[in-house]
Amino acid sequence: MSPVPLYVLTLACPNRPGIVAAISQTLFAQGGNITEAQQFDDALTQRFFMRIVFTLLSADATPASLQTAITPVARAFAMEWRLTDISRPPRTLLLVSKFDHCLVDLLYRWRIGELAIDPVGIVANHPAETYAHIDFGSIPFRHLPVTKETKPQQEAHILDLAATTGAELVVLARYMQVLSSNMAAALSGRCINIHHSFLPGFKGARPYHQAFAHGVKLIGATAHYVTDDLDEGPIIEQDVERISHADTPDDLIRKGRDIERRVLARAVRYHIERRTILNGNKTIVFLP
Amino acid sequence: MSPVPLYVLTLACPNRPGIVAAISQTLFAQGGNITEAQQFDDALTQRFFMRIVFTLLSADATPASLQTAITPVARAFAMEWRLTDISRPPRTLLLVSKFDHCLVDLLYRWRIGELAIDPVGIVANHPAETYAHIDFGSIPFRHLPVTKETKPQQEAHILDLAATTGAELVVLARYMQVLSSNMAAALSGRCINIHHSFLPGFKGARPYHQAFAHGVKLIGATAHYVTDDLDEGPIIEQDVERISHADTPDDLIRKGRDIERRVLARAVRYHIERRTILNGNKTIVFLP
Amino acid sequence: MSPVPLYVLTLACPNRPGIVAAISQTLFAQGGNITEAQQFDDALTQRFFMRIVFTLLSADATPASLQTAITPVARAFAMEWRLTDISRPPRTLLLVSKFDHCLVDLLYRWRIGELAIDPVGIVANHPAETYAHIDFGSIPFRHLPVTKETKPQQEAHILDLAATTGAELVVLARYMQVLSSNMAAALSGRCINIHHSFLPGFKGARPYHQAFAHGVKLIGATAHYVTDDLDEGPIIEQDVERISHADTPDDLIRKGRDIERRVLARAVRYHIERRTILNGNKTIVFLP
Amino acid sequence: MSPVPLYVLTLACPNRPGIVAAISQTLFAQGGNITEAQQFDDALTQRFFMRIVFTLLSADATPASLQTAITPVARAFAMEWRLTDISRPPRTLLLVSKFDHCLVDLLYRWRIGELAIDPVGIVANHPAETYAHIDFGSIPFRHLPVTKETKPQQEAHILDLAATTGAELVVLARYMQVLSSNMAAALSGRCINIHHSFLPGFKGARPYHQAFAHGVKLIGATAHYVTDDLDEGPIIEQDVERISHADTPDDLIRKGRDIERRVLARAVRYHIERRTILNGNKTIVFLP
């Protein structure tokens, strides 16, 4: 039995009066019962952003009839919009390198029903033995090693896999490879990375060693949408933890694992609940 | 010159479809431009809560015409509602005892324009000399000492002051007197207290000493609406700070002052921006 | 090859001058090189507590010779003391009920070398199938169901297991059974529990539901040594996370899992690094 | 009546066995009763750092006799060391520009006895009227305006003031002028600045606007010792607060004031309690 559909309408358009009235009227006419609604007026760009969660009370209404009803309103207000049934977990491809703490964490949250993803594949640039202690269940695992020379082919392989599995979300769960511009563009808006620093501090390699050398008193992690600008994609979530002068780089790496796990898990949750809307180089996150 | 009015409509009613559509349609028809809107469906009680911020684009619309327009909709949905122009700072009475850190903090935030209150009086159960270093400017100061015997008269005095000054908000800024049930009732919904513990832990007297004796690793403070149930009123805001075994009760009191200041200031801000709606013994806080 | 021994001397005694000098002199004479030292004077009880980490530079010194050297000094100052080689992971028994997030977390930290325990057994009051997705490796698993009637026998079974495995530490990783006074006493000082509330708030059953009903704005978890006073044992570590009016009890349970995991993992780490010393109903924690 | 002296000995030297034994023996022989002691072995540089707090039980011992007793030990271990009686508040010069929240905060903490400084002067590059609401009491106020042209003279004036008042500590309490290399050098190790960003992110001007443009989810503040490398001096303390996409730069500035106040106050406290020791471009902070 399918779960009851739970729709999220996200939209962005130039700000002018009447948007909320028009949209809520339209959904009401379709038998929609709004259970959550959040909006944001960007004073800088004069753009308006909204997220509306609703169920359908009428058996007649369907996603198709909703699309038909929303389209003229959307056109009238020049909206970019997207309608998602979040009761259906999105097909998700997970990429990982040697360190598997984020992968293990996401899979655990998925298994106990906390994170509503549908894992359609795990891709690693390390062999299966590296992950011997993880129960992948029926999720297909692919070892796709990568060198400087084979990178184009390897990326093509991953994109192909994303296409054939119909992946709607790609999570770089400590996948320690810089994506090419092509690949970043191909996954635009549906690829989340976790960077192990409080960006914009300590971009690039070995951020915990950088933090150690700098003598900061807090370290952090950042989950962001992947763009072709390395470590500069729109930030979804960040968090930090206190460190002291006595913490070695290894202590920072250890404390960092805890931050990375929770920051990535939160970012994925926000994405699949469609709480995020891109706004230029920033991310609007309608928190619960 | 008056500031441009900024209206907040807060409402609560039994949940059923069409509320958002009806209200947003009504405000739109009055020339209202919605700049913020948040809602909450309480699944437990089947009640719906909403906060809508809007400006008026039409010069014809007035608070009175808004009231007229909203009234039939409100009646149709059985709403409790309140319309506030938050561009006008609420008249605020500040009560204080010996420790003045919260009072000093609130006055500073007011003076630099951070906290939009209109202080109409300061009432203390300690004499003016206690606060010799504070610049009260033109805010009337009243010393109203209190003993067990004079409590009814003293409270009557304060209520009288609240009435004559038209106080819309009363802040107990570390006012270390338990209000009588009568007084609590008289100020219901417009009186905020700061309690120096992470409630419901350590109610009553000397909470930092209780926390010390208990060996907790974090201490906190709680801002809540005052009801006749001591330290049990609906919580608006809480925060904590880490302590260690080496912290003495005096250290806790010192660290606590920092927590109390920011928790009370946030609670007052949430209240005057009408982000709070009472929901039984709880407070809905629509955070920015 | 064995790791290089790393000794921790913890001690408690009446405070008087000369303790640090006497102890550091003694360790120096034995070829000890102190790498960490922390102390605490409890002004309330006039007791002195110290933790000293040291390596042995001399091949002649042994744990036995250290004991011999320390004994007269300890006697002179009436010290309670303990010498531990923390390079050897303590034998640890893990108890779990239905919810396995803390167990999974501890095992992961152990497997990647983050948490230096030696898991000698896992005891559950649910059958093995409940944990089908967890790789227990060679750690013996025992299903010991418990009812009101069989509790004495079940506890005897666990204590027997603790004895035969030589368990030095017992972790209640969300083991949802109240230990009898007998069992609590038998494991005194070496049994850590995680309670899913910010104690002393919300003791007893269903703390997240209590927190929800109370309308608090932060929820927490508490790791403590087990005593026969339920949920009142000396607190080792606590942490909190922010919640909102929109969070359901299920949301609190979900957010709570993250808090419980990190609080329990930290508490176990502090214990096995001998950073904790009991001080009446409180725990001294010498943080790194 | 003078307070009872409370001595802090801080030292740094090449790490080798016997340091703790030698120092504690020496202090014990002088009638010293150690009440706190913390140490740090820097594995990277092989240097050893220690902070020892002690009182003198013998009436014969004096700072001079202590100096005499410590000197040969210090020489034997090639120590850099400093003996401070922290019962005497250090003479402190406070520098401020237009925004006075940190100044007001420090003065409040000083007035209620929370922060043991002896304010010997307030220097501002804005006129006295700017601070009309602050009660400076008997603390001399100097208005020393500064332009690009008069900077050398203005700085000379400040250094002169520091010399004549015997200032042991200079606090840049949101003093929005970059110190010259000369002045930074002259105040080396005794000048604390608060920067309104989580360094190393957002150095230089208008950090909250930078943070806003970048779309970070947390903002912070950093207190550091001043060196001639702008915003790169050894970090003493940092903290952060959560922000959202809806926060404007003005909201960030407002939230930032709270962070700046507590971070600067903590850093000054750590300094005057001699909890800080410089270690290259980093600061060791022995937290309580």
Is the pLDDT at C29 greater than 70? The verdict is yes
Of the spans A56-65, D21-30, D158-167, which averages the highest pLDDT? D158-167
| Structure-block tokens of residue D170 | 């200079």
Tell me what pLDDT residue C204 has: 85
Tell me what pLDDT residue B1 has: 53
Q: What is the pTM of this model?
A: 0.97
List the single best residue of D13, D20, D26, D48 to mutate versus C (max C Cβ within 10 A): D20
Is residue B171 within 8 A of residue B120, CB to CB? The reply is: no
Tell me what pLDDT residue C229 has: 82
Name the band, by pLDDT with cuts 50, 70 and 90, for residue A1.
low
C-alpha span between D35 and D6 (Å, rounded): 10
Of C134, C135, C258, the CB nearest to A262: C258
Question: Which residue bears the tokens 């930092």?
Answer: B208
Taking alpha carbons only, the member of A162, D18, C110, C244 closest to residue B286 is C244
> In CATH, which superfamily holds the domain spanning B7-85?
ACT domain (3.30.70.260)
Is the pLDDT at A145 greater than 60? The verdict is yes
| Structure-block tokens of residue C76 | 């002179």
Task: Provide, as residue numbers in chain C, all residues whose Cβ is less than 8 Å from the Cβ of D287.
Answer: 287
Whether C138 contacts chain B with CB within 8 A: no
Burial (0-12, 13-18, 19+ Cβ within 10 Å), B111:
middle
Domains of chain D, residue spans:
7-85, 91-285
Tell me what pLDDT residue C31 has: 92
Of C104, C247, C258, the CB nearest to A288: C247
Question: Which residue bears the tokens 């293990």?
Answer: A104
| Structure-block tokens of residue A2 | 């399918």
Is the pLDDT at B55 greater than 60? The verdict is yes
- How far, in whole angstroms, is CA D66 from its chain's centroid? 25
Whether B218 contacts chain A with CB within 8 A: no
Tell me what pLDDT residue D9 has: 98
Tell me what pLDDT residue D280 has: 94
Task: Provide, as residue numbers in chain C, all residues whose Cβ is less than 8 Å from the Cβ of A108.
Answer: 101, 104
Instruction: Calculate how close chain A gets to D252, using CA atoms only, in Å.
Output: 15
Cβ-defined contact of A288 to C134 (cutoff 8 Å) = no
Tell me what pLDDT residue D65 has: 92
Taking alpha carbons only, the member of B161, B158, B160, B91 closest to residue B125 is B158
Task: Report the residue of chain D nearest B262, measured CA to CA.
Answer: D258
Tell me what pLDDT residue A10 has: 98
Cβ-defined contact of B238 to C215 (cutoff 8 Å) = no
**Percent of chain C topping pLDDT 90:** 89
Tell me what pLDDT residue B204 has: 85
List the single best residue of A7, A20, A30 to mutate versus B (max B Cβ within 10 A): A20
Burial (0-12, 13-18, 19+ Cβ within 10 Å), D124:
buried
Tell me what pLDDT residue A288 has: 85
List the single best residue of D258, D273, D275 to mutate versus B (max B Cβ within 10 A): D258
Tell me what pLDDT residue D63 has: 87
Name the band, by pLDDT with cuts 50, 70 and 90, for residue B17.
confident
Is the pLDDT at A279 greater than 60? The verdict is yes
Name the band, by pLDDT with cuts 50, 70 and 90, for residue C2.
low
CATH of domain B91-285: 3.40.50.170
Name the band, by pLDDT with cuts 50, 70 and 90, for residue A282.
very high
Whether B255 contacts chain D with CB within 8 A: no
Instruction: Calculate how close chain D gets to C16, using CA atoms only, in Å.
Output: 8
Is the pLDDT at B67 greater than 90? The verdict is yes
Is the pLDDT at A98 greater than 90? The verdict is yes
- Tens digits of residue pLDDT in B98-136: 999 999 999 999 999 999 999 999 999 999 999 999 999
Cβ-defined contact of A217 to D234 (cutoff 8 Å) = no
- Tens digits of residue pLDDT in B150-195: 999 999 999 999 999 999 999 999 999 999 999 999 999 999 999 9
ipTM (interface predicted TM): 0.95
Is the pLDDT at C78 greater than 80? The verdict is yes
Cβ-defined contact of B245 to C282 (cutoff 8 Å) = yes
Whether D288 contacts chain B with CB within 8 A: yes
Tell me what pLDDT residue C22 has: 94
Whether D133 contacts chain B with CB within 8 A: yes
Cβ-defined contact of B238 to C220 (cutoff 8 Å) = no
Is the pLDDT at C288 greater than 90? The verdict is no
Instruction: Calculate how close chain A gets to C34, using CA atoms only, in Å.
Output: 15
Whether C201 contacts chain B with CB within 8 A: yes
Is residue A235 within 8 A of residue A193, CB to CB? The reply is: no
- Mean pLDDT over B233-260 rounds to 97
Cβ-defined contact of C108 to A104 (cutoff 8 Å) = yes
D181-189 contacts, C-beta under 8 A, 24 or more apart: D181/D228, D182/D155, D183/D155, D183/D158, D183/D159, D184/D226, D184/D227, D184/D228, D185/D228, D186/D159, D187/D159, D187/D162, D187/D226, D188/D225, D188/D226, D188/D227, D189/D225, D189/D278
Of C21, C41, C57, the CB nearest to D35: C41
- How far, in whole angstroms, is CA B59 from its chain's centroid? 32
Cβ-defined contact of D216 to A238 (cutoff 8 Å) = yes
Of B108, B247, B254, the CB nearest to D114: B254
Burial (0-12, 13-18, 19+ Cβ within 10 Å), A178:
middle
- How far, in whole angstroms, is CA C262 from its chain's centroid? 13
Whether C35 contacts chain D with CB within 8 A: yes
Tell me what pLDDT residue C1 has: 52
Tell me what pLDDT residue A3 has: 78
Is the pLDDT at A123 greater than 60? The verdict is yes
Residue B221: strand, helix, or coil: strand
Task: Provide, as residue numbers in chain B, all residues whose Cβ is less than 8 Å from the Cβ of A27.
Answer: 21
C-alpha span between B238 and D126 (Å, rounded): 37
Is the pLDDT at C274 greater than 70? The verdict is yes
- Which range (B138-147, B234-243, D115-124, D222-231) has the least confidence? D222-231
Tell me what pLDDT residue D230 has: 73
- Residue spans of alpha helices (H) in B92-239: 101-111, 151-164, 181-186, 207-214
**Percent of chain D topping pLDDT 90:** 89
Tell me what pLDDT residue C212 has: 96
Of D34, D57, D287, the CB nearest to C20: D34
Beta bridge partners of D53: D8, D36
Tell me what pLDDT residue B25 has: 92
Name the band, by pLDDT with cuts 50, 70 and 90, for residue A2.
low
Whether C27 contacts chain D with CB within 8 A: yes
Is the pLDDT at D1 greater than 60? The verdict is no
Residues of B recognised as catalytic: 231
Residue B263: strand, helix, or coil: helix
Residues of C recognised as catalytic: 231
Is the pLDDT at D55 greater than 90? The verdict is yes
Taking alpha carbons only, the member of B24, B29, B31 closest to residue B58 is B31
Whether B220 contacts chain C with CB within 8 A: yes
Whether D142 contacts chain B with CB within 8 A: no
**For all residues of chain D together, what is the average pLDDT?**
95
Tell me what pLDDT residue A121 has: 98
Task: Provide, as residue numbers in chain A, all residues whose Cβ is less than 8 Å from the Cβ of C108.
Answer: 101, 104
Whether D104 contacts chain B with CB within 8 A: yes
Tell me what pLDDT residue B288 has: 85
DSSP string, C96-149: E-S--HHHHHHHHHHHTTSS--EEEEEEESS-GGGGTTS--TT--EEE----TT
